[in-house]
Chain A
Protein backbone atom coordinates (compact mmCIF):
# COMPACT_ATOMS: atom_id res chain seq x y z
CA UNK A 1 0.00 0.00 0.00
CA UNK A 2 1.65 3.18 -1.02
CA UNK A 3 0.37 6.68 -0.99
CA UNK A 4 3.41 8.52 -2.34
CA UNK A 5 2.18 11.95 -1.37
CA UNK A 6 1.64 10.87 2.19
CA UNK A 7 5.08 9.39 2.34
CA UNK A 8 6.41 12.90 1.92
CA UNK A 9 4.20 14.25 4.61
CA UNK A 10 5.55 11.73 7.00
CA UNK A 11 9.23 11.85 6.26
CA UNK A 12 10.16 15.24 4.85
CA UNK A 13 8.93 17.48 7.57
CA UNK A 14 12.19 19.42 7.86
CA UNK A 15 12.63 20.05 4.16
CA UNK A 16 9.10 21.20 3.60
CA UNK A 17 8.61 24.57 2.06
CA UNK A 18 4.96 25.12 2.70
CA UNK A 19 4.11 26.84 5.96
CA UNK A 20 3.37 24.44 8.75
CA UNK A 21 -0.27 25.34 9.16
CA UNK A 22 -1.03 24.62 5.47
CA UNK A 23 0.43 21.19 5.83
CA UNK A 24 -1.46 20.66 9.02
CA UNK A 25 -4.64 21.66 7.29
CA UNK A 26 -3.95 19.35 4.36
CA UNK A 27 -3.20 16.56 6.73
CA UNK A 28 -6.32 17.03 8.73
CA UNK A 29 -8.31 17.28 5.50
CA UNK A 30 -6.95 13.94 4.40
CA UNK A 31 -7.68 12.47 7.80
CA UNK A 32 -11.18 13.82 7.71
CA UNK A 33 -11.90 12.65 4.19
CA UNK A 34 -10.57 9.17 4.91
CA UNK A 35 -12.72 8.97 7.97
CA UNK A 36 -15.62 10.24 5.93
CA UNK A 37 -15.10 7.48 3.36
CA UNK A 38 -15.17 4.76 5.99
CA UNK A 39 -18.15 6.44 7.62
CA UNK A 40 -19.97 6.47 4.28
CA UNK A 41 -19.20 2.79 3.77
CA UNK A 42 -20.68 2.00 7.17
CA UNK A 43 -23.75 4.06 6.38
CA UNK A 44 -24.09 2.32 3.01
CA UNK A 45 -24.04 -1.07 4.70
CA UNK A 46 -26.83 0.01 6.99
CA UNK A 47 -28.60 1.45 3.95
CA UNK A 48 -28.43 -1.95 2.25
CA UNK A 49 -30.43 -3.54 5.05
CA UNK A 50 -32.87 -0.66 5.24
CA UNK A 51 -33.18 -0.83 1.47
CA UNK A 52 -34.05 -4.51 1.58
CA UNK A 53 -36.59 -3.99 4.33
CA UNK A 54 -38.04 -0.99 2.54
CA UNK A 55 -38.04 -2.85 -0.77
CA UNK A 56 -39.96 -5.91 0.34
CA UNK A 57 -42.37 -4.01 2.59
CA UNK A 58 -43.12 -1.44 -0.08
CA UNK A 59 -44.06 -4.16 -2.56
CA UNK A 60 -45.68 -6.52 -0.08
CA UNK A 61 -47.69 -4.42 2.36
CA UNK A 62 -50.22 -3.07 -0.18
CA UNK A 63 -51.59 -6.63 -0.35
CA UNK A 64 -53.24 -6.11 3.00
CA UNK A 65 -55.39 -3.35 1.60
CA UNK A 66 -57.34 -6.05 -0.18
CA UNK A 67 -56.52 -9.21 1.77
CA UNK A 68 -57.18 -9.67 5.45
CA UNK A 69 -53.94 -10.32 7.34
CA UNK A 70 -55.55 -13.01 9.47
CA UNK A 71 -56.90 -14.76 6.40
CA UNK A 72 -53.52 -14.51 4.73
CA UNK A 73 -51.74 -16.10 7.65
CA UNK A 74 -54.22 -18.65 8.88
CA UNK A 75 -56.28 -20.01 5.99
CA UNK A 76 -54.86 -22.52 3.62
CA UNK A 77 -56.19 -22.10 0.13
CA UNK A 78 -53.48 -20.76 -2.11
CA UNK A 79 -55.11 -19.99 -5.47
CA UNK A 80 -53.24 -16.86 -6.55
CA UNK A 81 -53.91 -17.21 -10.28
CA UNK A 82 -57.57 -18.07 -10.00
CA UNK A 83 -60.32 -15.85 -11.38
CA UNK A 84 -61.29 -15.16 -7.77
CA UNK A 85 -57.85 -15.45 -6.25
CA UNK A 86 -57.40 -16.66 -2.70
CA UNK A 87 -54.31 -15.94 -0.70
CA UNK A 88 -54.21 -18.28 2.28
CA UNK A 89 -50.57 -18.83 3.04
CA UNK A 90 -50.89 -21.14 6.03
CA UNK A 91 -50.10 -24.24 3.97
CA UNK A 92 -46.95 -22.54 2.67
CA UNK A 93 -45.85 -21.51 6.15
CA UNK A 94 -46.61 -25.02 7.37
CA UNK A 95 -44.58 -26.37 4.45
CA UNK A 96 -41.60 -24.26 5.45
CA UNK A 97 -41.91 -25.32 9.06
CA UNK A 98 -42.29 -28.99 8.11
CA UNK A 99 -39.14 -29.16 6.02
CA UNK A 100 -37.19 -27.08 8.52
CA UNK A 101 -38.27 -29.28 11.41
CA UNK A 102 -37.43 -32.37 9.38
CA UNK A 103 -34.02 -30.96 8.55
CA UNK A 104 -33.34 -30.17 12.22
CA UNK A 105 -34.43 -33.65 13.33
CA UNK A 106 -31.73 -34.99 11.05
CA UNK A 107 -29.11 -32.30 11.50
CA UNK A 108 -29.16 -31.87 15.30
CA UNK A 109 -28.05 -35.39 16.21
CA UNK A 110 -25.61 -35.53 13.31
CA UNK A 111 -24.16 -32.07 13.85
CA UNK A 112 -24.08 -32.22 17.62
CA UNK A 113 -22.69 -35.75 17.62
CA UNK A 114 -20.00 -34.89 15.12
CA UNK A 115 -19.09 -31.74 17.06
CA UNK A 116 -18.86 -33.60 20.37
CA UNK A 117 -16.78 -36.29 18.76
CA UNK A 118 -14.42 -33.79 17.17
CA UNK A 119 -14.10 -31.52 20.20
CA UNK A 120 -14.08 -34.03 23.03
CA UNK A 121 -13.21 -37.49 21.82
CA UNK A 122 -11.11 -37.35 18.67
CA UNK A 123 -7.43 -36.61 18.80
CA UNK A 124 -6.16 -33.16 17.84
CA UNK A 125 -4.97 -34.38 14.48
CA UNK A 126 -8.41 -35.50 13.33
CA UNK A 127 -10.13 -32.36 14.57
CA UNK A 128 -7.53 -30.17 12.93
CA UNK A 129 -8.19 -31.95 9.67
CA UNK A 130 -11.96 -31.94 10.12
CA UNK A 131 -12.33 -28.24 10.77
CA UNK A 132 -11.37 -26.98 7.32
CA UNK A 133 -13.27 -29.86 5.71
CA UNK A 134 -16.42 -28.87 7.58
CA UNK A 135 -15.91 -25.26 6.49
CA UNK A 136 -15.45 -26.43 2.92
CA UNK A 137 -18.64 -28.48 3.01
CA UNK A 138 -20.63 -25.48 4.21
CA UNK A 139 -19.83 -23.86 0.87
CA UNK A 140 -21.27 -26.51 -1.45
CA UNK A 141 -23.79 -24.68 -3.66
CA UNK A 142 -27.36 -25.54 -2.81
CA UNK A 143 -28.35 -25.98 -6.45
CA UNK A 144 -25.91 -28.88 -6.62
CA UNK A 145 -27.62 -30.50 -3.64
CA UNK A 146 -30.90 -29.81 -5.41
CA UNK A 147 -29.71 -31.63 -8.51
CA UNK A 148 -28.52 -34.54 -6.38
CA UNK A 149 -31.87 -34.72 -4.61
CA UNK A 150 -33.92 -34.46 -7.76
CA UNK A 151 -31.98 -36.81 -9.99
CA UNK A 152 -30.64 -39.33 -7.47
CA UNK A 153 -32.22 -39.36 -4.03
CA UNK A 154 -35.87 -38.76 -4.96
CA UNK A 155 -36.16 -41.74 -7.32
CA UNK A 156 -34.50 -43.91 -4.66
CA UNK A 157 -36.88 -42.71 -1.94
CA UNK A 158 -39.81 -43.37 -4.25
CA UNK A 159 -38.62 -46.94 -4.77
CA UNK A 160 -37.69 -47.68 -1.17
CA UNK A 161 -41.02 -46.58 0.27
CA UNK A 162 -43.17 -47.39 -2.77
CA UNK A 163 -44.51 -43.84 -3.16
CA UNK A 164 -46.17 -41.87 -5.93
CA UNK A 165 -43.41 -39.31 -5.84
CA UNK A 166 -40.02 -39.07 -4.23
CA UNK A 167 -40.24 -35.31 -4.13
CA UNK A 168 -41.53 -34.91 -0.59
CA UNK A 169 -40.85 -33.68 2.93
CA UNK A 170 -38.69 -36.67 3.76
CA UNK A 171 -36.28 -36.29 0.84
CA UNK A 172 -35.99 -32.54 1.35
CA UNK A 173 -35.37 -32.98 5.05
CA UNK A 174 -32.53 -35.42 4.46
CA UNK A 175 -30.78 -33.10 2.03
CA UNK A 176 -31.45 -29.89 3.97
CA UNK A 177 -30.35 -31.69 7.13
CA UNK A 178 -27.03 -32.71 5.68
CA UNK A 179 -26.64 -29.19 4.28
CA UNK A 180 -26.88 -27.57 7.70
CA UNK A 181 -24.79 -30.15 9.56
CA UNK A 182 -21.59 -28.17 8.85
CA UNK A 183 -23.19 -25.00 10.25
CA UNK A 184 -24.33 -26.68 13.45
CA UNK A 185 -21.17 -28.74 13.76
CA UNK A 186 -18.69 -25.89 13.45
CA UNK A 187 -20.56 -23.55 15.81
CA UNK A 188 -21.10 -26.33 18.36
CA UNK A 189 -17.45 -27.25 18.22
CA UNK A 190 -16.50 -23.65 18.91
CA UNK A 191 -18.90 -23.55 21.83
CA UNK A 192 -17.53 -26.81 23.26
CA UNK A 193 -13.92 -25.74 22.81
CA UNK A 194 -14.67 -22.53 24.67
CA UNK A 195 -15.70 -24.43 27.80
CA UNK A 196 -12.86 -23.95 30.31
CA UNK A 197 -10.62 -26.94 30.72
CA UNK A 198 -10.96 -27.04 34.49
CA UNK A 199 -14.62 -27.99 34.22
CA UNK A 200 -13.62 -31.16 32.42
CA UNK A 201 -10.75 -31.84 34.78
CA UNK A 202 -12.89 -31.32 37.84
CA UNK A 203 -15.50 -33.71 36.52
CA UNK A 204 -12.95 -36.37 35.61
CA UNK A 205 -11.22 -35.95 38.94
CA UNK A 206 -14.49 -36.65 40.68
CA UNK A 207 -14.53 -40.03 38.99
CA UNK A 208 -16.96 -39.33 36.17
CA UNK A 209 -16.45 -41.22 32.91
CA UNK A 210 -15.77 -39.32 29.74
CA UNK A 211 -19.36 -39.66 28.57
CA UNK A 212 -20.65 -38.38 31.90
CA UNK A 213 -18.23 -35.50 31.78
CA UNK A 214 -19.38 -34.57 28.30
CA UNK A 215 -23.10 -34.73 28.98
CA UNK A 216 -23.25 -33.55 32.57
CA UNK A 217 -20.47 -30.96 32.63
CA UNK A 218 -19.29 -29.80 29.21
CA UNK A 219 -22.52 -29.74 27.22
CA UNK A 220 -24.50 -27.88 29.93
CA UNK A 221 -21.69 -25.32 30.11
CA UNK A 222 -21.88 -24.81 26.35
CA UNK A 223 -25.64 -24.88 26.10
CA UNK A 224 -26.08 -21.31 24.89
CA UNK A 225 -23.63 -21.79 22.08
CA UNK A 226 -25.26 -25.08 21.13
CA UNK A 227 -28.72 -23.51 21.14
CA UNK A 228 -27.32 -20.68 19.03
CA UNK A 229 -25.93 -23.13 16.51
CA UNK A 230 -29.28 -24.90 16.24
CA UNK A 231 -31.06 -21.60 15.66
CA UNK A 232 -28.48 -20.75 13.04
CA UNK A 233 -29.21 -24.05 11.33
CA UNK A 234 -32.92 -23.27 11.59
CA UNK A 235 -32.39 -19.94 9.86
CA UNK A 236 -30.42 -21.57 7.07
CA UNK A 237 -32.97 -24.30 6.51
CA UNK A 238 -36.02 -22.06 6.57
CA UNK A 239 -34.46 -19.70 4.04
CA UNK A 240 -33.00 -22.27 1.69
CA UNK A 241 -34.53 -21.94 -1.75
CA UNK A 242 -33.02 -24.10 -4.44
CA UNK A 243 -33.18 -27.44 -2.66
CA UNK A 244 -36.83 -27.04 -1.68
CA UNK A 245 -37.70 -25.63 -5.09
CA UNK A 246 -36.25 -28.67 -6.81
CA UNK A 247 -37.05 -31.41 -4.30
CA UNK A 248 -40.07 -30.46 -2.16
CA UNK A 249 -42.67 -31.40 -4.78
CA UNK A 250 -44.53 -28.11 -4.73
CA UNK A 251 -48.02 -28.98 -3.45
CA UNK A 252 -49.54 -26.06 -1.56
CA UNK A 253 -51.10 -28.25 1.08
CA UNK A 254 -50.54 -29.02 4.72
CA UNK A 255 -48.56 -32.25 4.69
CA UNK A 256 -50.35 -35.24 6.24
CA UNK A 257 -47.25 -37.39 6.43
CA UNK A 258 -43.53 -37.06 5.85
CA UNK A 259 -44.03 -38.51 2.39
CA UNK A 260 -46.32 -35.73 1.18
CA UNK A 261 -45.01 -33.05 -1.14
CA UNK A 262 -45.06 -29.50 0.23
CA UNK A 263 -44.56 -25.99 -1.05
CA UNK A 264 -42.48 -23.93 1.37
CA UNK A 265 -42.40 -20.12 1.32
CA UNK A 266 -39.11 -19.84 -0.50
CA UNK A 267 -39.98 -22.16 -3.34
CA UNK A 268 -43.39 -20.51 -3.75
CA UNK A 269 -41.68 -17.17 -4.23
CA UNK A 270 -39.11 -18.54 -6.62
CA UNK A 271 -41.55 -20.60 -8.66
CA UNK A 272 -44.33 -18.04 -8.96
CA UNK A 273 -42.53 -14.70 -9.22
CA UNK A 274 -42.08 -15.15 -12.93
CA UNK A 275 -45.76 -15.70 -13.64
CA UNK A 276 -47.06 -12.60 -11.93
CA UNK A 277 -48.08 -9.29 -13.41
CA UNK A 278 -45.81 -6.76 -11.74
CA UNK A 279 -47.76 -4.81 -9.16
CA UNK A 280 -50.85 -7.04 -9.06
CA UNK A 281 -52.16 -8.91 -6.04
CA UNK A 282 -50.22 -12.06 -6.79
CA UNK A 283 -46.97 -10.10 -7.05
CA UNK A 284 -47.73 -8.34 -3.78
CA UNK A 285 -48.65 -11.61 -2.09
CA UNK A 286 -45.25 -13.08 -2.97
CA UNK A 287 -43.54 -10.08 -1.42
CA UNK A 288 -45.80 -10.54 1.59
CA UNK A 289 -44.49 -14.11 1.84
CA UNK A 290 -41.00 -12.65 1.71
CA UNK A 291 -41.92 -10.37 4.62
CA UNK A 292 -43.03 -13.38 6.68
CA UNK A 293 -39.82 -15.17 5.79
CA UNK A 294 -37.75 -12.13 6.65
CA UNK A 295 -39.46 -11.74 10.01
CA UNK A 296 -38.93 -15.41 10.86
CA UNK A 297 -35.21 -15.23 10.13
CA UNK A 298 -34.90 -11.82 11.76
CA UNK A 299 -36.37 -13.06 15.05
CA UNK A 300 -34.34 -16.25 15.03
CA UNK A 301 -31.26 -14.09 14.40
CA UNK A 302 -32.01 -11.82 17.33
CA UNK A 303 -32.47 -14.80 19.64
CA UNK A 304 -29.21 -16.32 18.41
CA UNK A 305 -27.42 -13.05 19.08
CA UNK A 306 -28.87 -12.82 22.55
CA UNK A 307 -27.77 -16.39 23.32
CA UNK A 308 -24.26 -15.86 22.00
CA UNK A 309 -23.81 -12.57 23.83
CA UNK A 310 -24.82 -14.27 27.04
CA UNK A 311 -22.28 -16.97 26.32
CA UNK A 312 -19.54 -14.47 25.65
CA UNK A 313 -20.42 -12.55 28.77
CA UNK A 314 -19.84 -15.58 30.89
Chain B
Protein backbone atom coordinates (compact mmCIF):
# COMPACT_ATOMS: atom_id res chain seq x y z
CA UNK B 1 0.00 0.00 0.00
CA UNK B 2 2.72 2.39 0.98
CA UNK B 3 4.67 1.44 -2.12
CA UNK B 4 1.77 2.16 -4.36
CA UNK B 5 1.31 5.48 -2.62
CA UNK B 6 4.82 6.55 -3.31
CA UNK B 7 4.87 5.36 -6.88
CA UNK B 8 1.75 7.38 -7.60
CA UNK B 9 3.44 10.35 -6.06
CA UNK B 10 6.56 9.78 -8.09
CA UNK B 11 4.64 9.43 -11.33
CA UNK B 12 2.76 12.64 -10.62
CA UNK B 13 5.94 14.54 -9.99
CA UNK B 14 7.58 13.12 -13.09
CA UNK B 15 4.56 13.88 -15.23
CA UNK B 16 4.44 17.46 -14.01
CA UNK B 17 8.17 17.82 -14.47
CA UNK B 18 8.12 16.40 -17.99
CA UNK B 19 5.30 18.56 -19.21
CA UNK B 20 7.08 21.61 -17.91
CA UNK B 21 9.71 21.01 -20.55
CA UNK B 22 7.13 21.81 -23.22
CA UNK B 23 5.40 24.53 -21.27
CA UNK B 24 7.46 27.52 -22.21
CA UNK B 25 6.92 27.22 -25.95
CA UNK B 26 4.31 29.89 -26.62
CA UNK B 27 3.52 31.48 -23.36
CA UNK B 28 4.02 35.01 -22.13
CA UNK B 29 4.24 35.81 -18.46
CA UNK B 30 3.96 39.34 -17.23
CA UNK B 31 4.21 40.47 -13.69
CA UNK B 32 4.22 43.69 -11.75
CA UNK B 33 2.16 46.73 -10.88
CA UNK B 34 -1.32 46.11 -9.59
CA UNK B 35 -2.42 49.34 -11.28
CA UNK B 36 -1.58 47.88 -14.67
CA UNK B 37 -3.24 44.58 -13.79
CA UNK B 38 -6.74 45.35 -15.17
CA UNK B 39 -5.27 46.63 -18.45
CA UNK B 40 -2.95 43.68 -18.87
CA UNK B 41 -5.68 41.22 -17.99
CA UNK B 42 -8.33 42.63 -20.30
CA UNK B 43 -5.99 43.07 -23.26
CA UNK B 44 -4.49 39.62 -22.73
CA UNK B 45 -7.95 38.15 -22.97
CA UNK B 46 -8.69 39.88 -26.26
CA UNK B 47 -5.23 38.98 -27.57
CA UNK B 48 -5.64 35.32 -26.70
CA UNK B 49 -9.01 35.23 -28.43
CA UNK B 50 -7.19 36.25 -31.58
CA UNK B 51 -4.18 34.00 -30.99
CA UNK B 52 -5.49 30.88 -29.30
CA UNK B 53 -2.06 29.23 -29.46
CA UNK B 54 -0.51 31.81 -27.12
CA UNK B 55 -1.10 31.81 -23.39
CA UNK B 56 -0.58 34.95 -21.35
CA UNK B 57 -0.35 34.73 -17.59
CA UNK B 58 -0.79 37.93 -15.62
CA UNK B 59 0.70 38.25 -12.17
CA UNK B 60 0.33 41.15 -9.80
CA UNK B 61 2.71 41.62 -6.93
CA UNK B 62 3.68 45.20 -7.55
CA UNK B 63 6.04 47.18 -9.74
CA UNK B 64 9.08 46.04 -7.74
CA UNK B 65 8.22 42.38 -8.07
CA UNK B 66 7.78 42.73 -11.81
CA UNK B 67 11.12 44.46 -12.22
CA UNK B 68 12.87 41.84 -10.12
CA UNK B 69 11.30 39.04 -12.15
CA UNK B 70 12.46 40.70 -15.35
CA UNK B 71 15.97 40.95 -13.91
CA UNK B 72 15.93 37.26 -13.10
CA UNK B 73 14.72 36.47 -16.59
CA UNK B 74 11.63 34.68 -15.32
CA UNK B 75 9.08 36.90 -17.03
CA UNK B 76 9.07 38.47 -20.45
CA UNK B 77 7.18 41.59 -19.44
CA UNK B 78 7.36 43.67 -16.28
CA UNK B 79 4.37 45.93 -15.70
CA UNK B 80 5.18 49.16 -13.98
CA UNK B 81 3.17 52.16 -12.90
CA UNK B 82 6.36 54.23 -12.69
CA UNK B 83 9.54 54.55 -14.72
CA UNK B 84 12.15 52.11 -13.47
CA UNK B 85 14.40 53.52 -10.76
CA UNK B 86 18.04 54.05 -11.65
CA UNK B 87 19.11 51.46 -9.10
CA UNK B 88 16.84 48.91 -10.72
CA UNK B 89 18.23 49.67 -14.15
CA UNK B 90 21.83 49.31 -13.02
CA UNK B 91 20.96 46.07 -11.21
CA UNK B 92 19.37 44.74 -14.39
CA UNK B 93 22.31 45.80 -16.54
CA UNK B 94 24.71 43.97 -14.25
CA UNK B 95 22.71 40.80 -14.89
CA UNK B 96 22.84 41.32 -18.63
CA UNK B 97 19.24 42.46 -18.87
CA UNK B 98 18.47 45.57 -20.85
CA UNK B 99 15.08 46.91 -19.74
CA UNK B 100 13.19 48.62 -22.54
CA UNK B 101 10.07 50.63 -21.69
CA UNK B 102 6.85 50.61 -23.70
CA UNK B 103 4.18 53.10 -22.67
CA UNK B 104 0.82 51.37 -22.83
CA UNK B 105 -1.65 53.76 -21.23
CA UNK B 106 -2.09 56.98 -19.32
CA UNK B 107 -3.56 57.35 -15.87
CA UNK B 108 -4.85 60.52 -14.28
CA UNK B 109 -5.40 61.15 -10.61
CA UNK B 110 -8.49 63.23 -9.87
CA UNK B 111 -8.83 65.43 -6.80
CA UNK B 112 -12.31 64.86 -5.44
CA UNK B 113 -14.49 66.55 -2.83
CA UNK B 114 -17.98 66.01 -1.47
CA UNK B 115 -20.87 66.79 -3.81
CA UNK B 116 -22.03 69.74 -1.72
CA UNK B 117 -18.65 71.48 -1.70
CA UNK B 118 -18.70 74.65 -3.87
CA UNK B 119 -14.93 74.74 -4.39
CA UNK B 120 -14.19 74.21 -8.09
CA UNK B 121 -10.46 74.62 -8.41
CA UNK B 122 -7.37 74.17 -6.27
CA UNK B 123 -3.81 74.99 -7.18
CA UNK B 124 -1.17 72.33 -6.70
CA UNK B 125 0.29 74.51 -3.92
CA UNK B 126 -3.08 74.60 -2.16
CA UNK B 127 -3.45 70.83 -2.51
CA UNK B 128 -0.01 70.41 -1.01
CA UNK B 129 -0.84 72.75 1.89
CA UNK B 130 -4.06 70.86 2.57
CA UNK B 131 -2.31 67.51 2.68
CA UNK B 132 0.62 68.74 4.74
CA UNK B 133 -1.80 70.32 7.23
CA UNK B 134 -1.08 74.02 6.60
CA UNK B 135 -4.58 74.68 5.32
CA UNK B 136 -7.17 73.32 7.72
CA UNK B 137 -10.45 74.94 6.70
CA UNK B 138 -12.27 75.19 3.40
CA UNK B 139 -12.75 78.95 3.88
CA UNK B 140 -9.00 79.41 3.34
CA UNK B 141 -9.42 78.25 -0.25
CA UNK B 142 -12.66 80.08 -0.98
CA UNK B 143 -15.12 77.55 0.35
CA UNK B 144 -17.53 77.39 3.30
CA UNK B 145 -16.41 77.53 6.94
CA UNK B 146 -15.87 73.81 7.27
CA UNK B 147 -12.89 71.88 8.60
CA UNK B 148 -11.04 69.92 5.93
CA UNK B 149 -10.86 66.15 6.30
CA UNK B 150 -7.89 65.11 4.18
CA UNK B 151 -8.16 61.54 2.91
CA UNK B 152 -5.09 59.95 1.42
CA UNK B 153 -4.08 56.59 0.07
CA UNK B 154 -1.70 54.51 2.14
CA UNK B 155 1.93 55.34 1.54
CA UNK B 156 2.82 52.17 -0.34
CA UNK B 157 0.24 52.42 -3.11
CA UNK B 158 1.20 53.40 -6.62
CA UNK B 159 -1.46 56.10 -6.60
CA UNK B 160 0.13 57.64 -3.53
CA UNK B 161 3.52 57.50 -5.16
CA UNK B 162 2.35 59.60 -8.10
CA UNK B 163 0.40 61.99 -5.90
CA UNK B 164 3.39 62.30 -3.64
CA UNK B 165 5.68 63.10 -6.51
CA UNK B 166 3.45 65.37 -8.57
CA UNK B 167 1.43 67.19 -5.90
CA UNK B 168 3.35 67.00 -2.65
CA UNK B 169 6.80 67.18 -4.26
CA UNK B 170 8.21 65.19 -1.42
CA UNK B 171 6.56 66.87 1.59
CA UNK B 172 5.01 64.48 4.05
CA UNK B 173 1.29 63.95 4.48
CA UNK B 174 0.02 65.33 7.79
CA UNK B 175 -0.49 62.81 10.55
CA UNK B 176 -4.15 63.81 10.84
CA UNK B 177 -4.97 62.63 7.32
CA UNK B 178 -6.88 59.40 6.96
CA UNK B 179 -4.99 56.76 5.05
CA UNK B 180 -7.18 54.34 3.16
CA UNK B 181 -6.22 51.22 1.32
CA UNK B 182 -8.05 51.44 -1.99
CA UNK B 183 -9.47 53.83 -4.56
CA UNK B 184 -12.95 52.60 -3.76
CA UNK B 185 -12.52 53.28 -0.04
CA UNK B 186 -11.38 56.85 -0.73
CA UNK B 187 -14.31 57.46 -3.08
CA UNK B 188 -16.88 56.28 -0.56
CA UNK B 189 -15.21 58.11 2.34
CA UNK B 190 -15.19 61.41 0.42
CA UNK B 191 -18.76 60.80 -0.71
CA UNK B 192 -19.96 60.58 2.85
CA UNK B 193 -17.85 63.34 4.42
CA UNK B 194 -18.99 66.93 3.65
CA UNK B 195 -15.56 68.38 4.48
CA UNK B 196 -13.65 65.58 2.79
CA UNK B 197 -11.04 65.75 0.07
CA UNK B 198 -9.37 62.81 -1.58
CA UNK B 199 -7.59 61.68 -4.72
CA UNK B 200 -8.37 58.66 -6.84
CA UNK B 201 -7.59 57.14 -10.20
CA UNK B 202 -9.83 58.43 -12.98
CA UNK B 203 -11.32 54.98 -13.40
CA UNK B 204 -12.95 55.06 -9.98
CA UNK B 205 -15.10 58.21 -10.18
CA UNK B 206 -18.61 57.63 -8.83
CA UNK B 207 -21.75 59.71 -8.44
CA UNK B 208 -21.40 60.90 -4.85
CA UNK B 209 -18.23 62.91 -5.40
CA UNK B 210 -17.20 65.98 -7.35
CA UNK B 211 -13.98 66.46 -9.26
CA UNK B 212 -12.13 69.73 -8.74
CA UNK B 213 -9.67 71.00 -11.29
CA UNK B 214 -6.01 71.27 -10.42
CA UNK B 215 -4.17 74.46 -11.44
CA UNK B 216 -7.30 75.33 -13.41
CA UNK B 217 -7.18 72.16 -15.50
CA UNK B 218 -9.99 69.62 -15.24
CA UNK B 219 -8.84 66.03 -15.60
CA UNK B 220 -10.20 64.62 -18.82
CA UNK B 221 -9.06 62.37 -21.61
CA UNK B 222 -7.94 65.41 -23.54
CA UNK B 223 -6.02 67.21 -20.79
CA UNK B 224 -4.26 64.06 -19.66
CA UNK B 225 -3.28 63.17 -23.23
CA UNK B 226 -2.00 66.68 -23.89
CA UNK B 227 -0.07 66.57 -20.65
CA UNK B 228 -1.65 69.79 -19.41
CA UNK B 229 -3.29 68.08 -16.43
CA UNK B 230 -0.59 68.05 -13.78
CA UNK B 231 -1.50 64.84 -11.92
CA UNK B 232 -1.03 62.22 -14.58
CA UNK B 233 1.37 59.42 -15.31
CA UNK B 234 2.30 56.89 -17.91
CA UNK B 235 1.95 53.19 -17.36
CA UNK B 236 4.67 50.97 -18.77
CA UNK B 237 5.53 47.48 -19.83
CA UNK B 238 9.24 46.68 -19.71
CA UNK B 239 10.88 43.98 -21.79
CA UNK B 240 14.45 42.74 -22.02
CA UNK B 241 15.80 44.43 -25.11
CA UNK B 242 13.37 45.16 -27.91
CA UNK B 243 10.22 43.08 -27.72
CA UNK B 244 10.25 40.16 -30.14
CA UNK B 245 7.81 37.61 -31.43
CA UNK B 246 4.64 37.05 -29.42
CA UNK B 247 5.66 39.60 -26.81
CA UNK B 248 6.02 42.20 -29.50
CA UNK B 249 2.67 41.40 -31.07
CA UNK B 250 1.01 41.53 -27.62
CA UNK B 251 2.45 44.95 -26.79
CA UNK B 252 1.69 46.17 -30.31
CA UNK B 253 -1.87 44.97 -29.80
CA UNK B 254 -2.23 46.99 -26.58
CA UNK B 255 -0.88 50.05 -28.33
CA UNK B 256 -3.18 49.56 -31.33
CA UNK B 257 -6.49 51.35 -31.59
CA UNK B 258 -8.37 48.23 -30.53
CA UNK B 259 -6.13 47.72 -27.52
CA UNK B 260 -6.46 51.34 -26.46
CA UNK B 261 -10.25 51.01 -26.56
CA UNK B 262 -9.92 48.22 -24.01
CA UNK B 263 -7.64 50.46 -21.95
CA UNK B 264 -10.36 53.11 -21.88
CA UNK B 265 -13.01 50.55 -20.98
CA UNK B 266 -10.95 49.75 -17.89
CA UNK B 267 -11.10 53.36 -16.74
CA UNK B 268 -7.68 54.45 -17.94
CA UNK B 269 -6.77 56.90 -20.68
CA UNK B 270 -5.58 56.00 -24.14
CA UNK B 271 -2.12 57.11 -25.19
CA UNK B 272 -3.51 59.39 -27.90
Contacts and interface: CB of A to CB of B under 8 A. Distances in A.
Given A164-B149, A164-B196, A274 B65 contact: yes
Interface string A174-191: 000000000000000000
Contacts of B156: 80-81, 268, 271-272, 275
B64 interface: yes
B181 A250 contact: yes
B76 interface: no
Contacts of A22: none
A167 B180 contact: yes
A275 B62 contact: yes
Contacts of B50: none
A95 to B, nearest CB: 11
Contacts of A250: 154, 179-181
A77 B179 contact: no
Contacts of B87: 277, 280
Given A2-B1, A250-B180, A251-B179, A79 B155 contact: yes
A180 B222 CA distance: 52
Interface string A69-98: 000000001111111000000000000000
Contacts of A82: 155, 164, 170, 172
Contact of B155 (A1, A83, A164, A252): A252
B170 A271 contact: no
A261 B85 contact: no
Contacts of B25: none
Interface in A160-179: 164-165, 167
A249 interface: yes
Interface in B150-180: 151, 154-156, 158, 160-161, 164, 170, 172, 175, 178-180
Nearest to B81: A275
- Max chain A CB contacts within 10 Å: which of B60, B64, B68, B175? B64
Interface string A90-134: 000000000000000000000000000000000000000000000
Contact of A276 (B64, B170, B178): B64
A81 B188 CA distance: 26
Interface string A20-60: 00000000000000000000000000000000000000000
Nearest to B184: A150
A56 B179 CA distance: 28
Contacts of A268: 156
B55 to A, nearest CB: 23
Contacts of A274: 34, 60-65
Per DSSP, chain A at the interface is loop
B29 interface: no
B68 A278 contact: yes
- Contact size range, B: 35 or more
Interface string B185-198: 10011001100100
B2 interface: yes
A275 B180 contact: no
A157 interface: no
Per DSSP, chain B at the interface is mixed
A251 B154 contact: yes
B251 interface: no
Contact of A1 (B2, B34, B180, B193): B2
Interface string B1-27: 111000000000000000000000000
A273 B192 CA distance: 31
B62 A252 contact: no
A278 B62 CA distance: 12
A277 B180 contact: no
B62 A164 contact: no
A183 B60 CA distance: 33
B65 A77 contact: no
A167 to B, nearest CB: 6
Contact of A273 (B1, B2, B62, B170): B62
Nearest to A158: B192
Contacts of A249: 179-181, 185
Contacts of B172: 77, 79, 82
Interface of B: 1-3, 34, 60-65, 67-68, 85, 87-88, 91, 149, 151, 154-156, 158, 160-161, 164, 170, 172, 175, 178-181, 185, 188-189, 192-193, 196
19 contacts: A2-B2, A77-B172, A82-B155, A164-B189, A164-B193, A164-B196, A165-B189, A167-B181, A249-B180, A249-B181, A250-B181, A252-B179, A261-B180, A271-B156, A274-B62, A275-B63, A276-B64, A277-B64, A277-B88
